[in-house]
Amino acid sequence: MSARFSSAHANASGLDIMVACAALCITSVLLMVGCASQAPVDRGEVQGHGFDGAELLQSDGNRVTAAAMRANHQSLLLLADKLYRRNPSEWRKTAATRETALEQLHQVMQAQLNWAPLGGRRDVAALSTALSVEFQGDRVAAFIIACADTIVTAHNGKREFYYLDSIDPQHIYNAARNMETALWILNTRRDTRGQPLLLANELTPDSRNLSFEREFGKIIGRLDMLATYLTERYRRAAISYVQGIVAAPLLTFLPVR
């Protein structure tokens, strides 16, 4: 009698454990479904540039180059916004609001104007000025404008490209390296008080913000990819020319009567 009771009790305990495990699994699944339902589903979609008549005078390479240029322009504006948020004293040197400062910056970049505080300096010379300890103007604007001008200069001073335009891939590659150098200087150089020239990335025990670094990495990556693409395109054009000469005798039609 006692043995049968013990066996029944053991079976009941095993059943309880199985039921408890099943309930735990179901609860876990429901929690996962609930969390998934709250996660963002719409993460956007790829966007192309709208059609215009100028495309008829552009090659695929021209379109790729222009698309990379537009993306880099937007990245620089985003970086300017991030820097202004972390360094509000900078936009207050030239504008009443951060939005106004960003709009002024956009206009200078778009029109490729000489920005007075940079004293007429362009591309890498402007970068050196923007990153100098002695510079007293809006350092965010100076830095972003100089970066934009360096990139445009590497593209022969153009933002739109057509069949007869040519770009030296080495210049694009050099621009990518200049962006790396500028980023390193910005992260390491200190002013006369020992403070960073601009607050950018944030690495503290309580906070980790590398969004500035990531956005700059996108710019460098696009430039490097474009330099590689242009190099490959010119190389393939030369190879195709040689292939045409070599294959020409083999492509001659033979008489059939």
pLDDT tens-digit readout, 111-135 = 888 899 999 999 999 999 999 999 9
C-alpha dist (Å) from residue 98 to 95, 143, 149: 7, 16, 22
> Residue 60 has what pLDDT?
82
155 burial type by CB count under 10 A (0-12 exposed, 13-18 middle, 19+ buried): buried
Average pLDDT over residues 28-47: 58
Domain count, the chain: 1
pLDDT of the residue at 62:
87
Percent of the chain with pLDDT over 70: 67
Identify which has the larger pLDDT, 50 or 113.
Answer: 113
Whether 32 maps to a domain, the answer reads: no
Model confidence over 202-251: pLDDT tens digits?
A: 665 665 667 788 899 999 999 999 999 988 875 655 555 555 555 556 55
Instruction: Count how many residues are written for the chain.
Output: 257
Q: Looking only at Cα atoms, what is the longest distance across the chain?
A: 109
Confidence of residue 21 (pLDDT cuts 50, 70, 90): low
Weakest mean pLDDT among 136-150, 160-174, 193-207, 217-231: 193-207
Nearest alpha carbon to residue 170 among 156, 189, 191: 156
- 19, part of any domain: no
Distance CA 245, CA 249 (A): 8
What residues are paired with 196 via a beta bridge?
A: 190
At residue 14, the pLDDT reads 54
Q: Which residue has the higher pLDDT, 210 or 30?
A: 210
Q: Does residue 122 sit within a domain? A: yes
Separation of alpha carbons 117 and 138, rounded Å? 8
pLDDT given at position 52: 62
- 1 in a structural domain: no
Asked whether residue 163 is assigned to any structural domain, the reply reads yes
In this structure, is residue 115 part of a structural domain?
yes
- Map tokens 């948020």 to a residue: 85
Residue 248 lies in a domain: no
Instruction: Determine the structural domain holding residue 103 and report its residue range.
Output: 56-236
For 208, the enclosing helix (H) or strand (E) is strand 208-209
Q: Tell me which of 53-57, 157-161, 222-226 is least confident.
A: 53-57
Statement: residue 195 has pLDDT above 50:
yes
In a domain, 46, yes or no: no
pLDDT at 103: 96
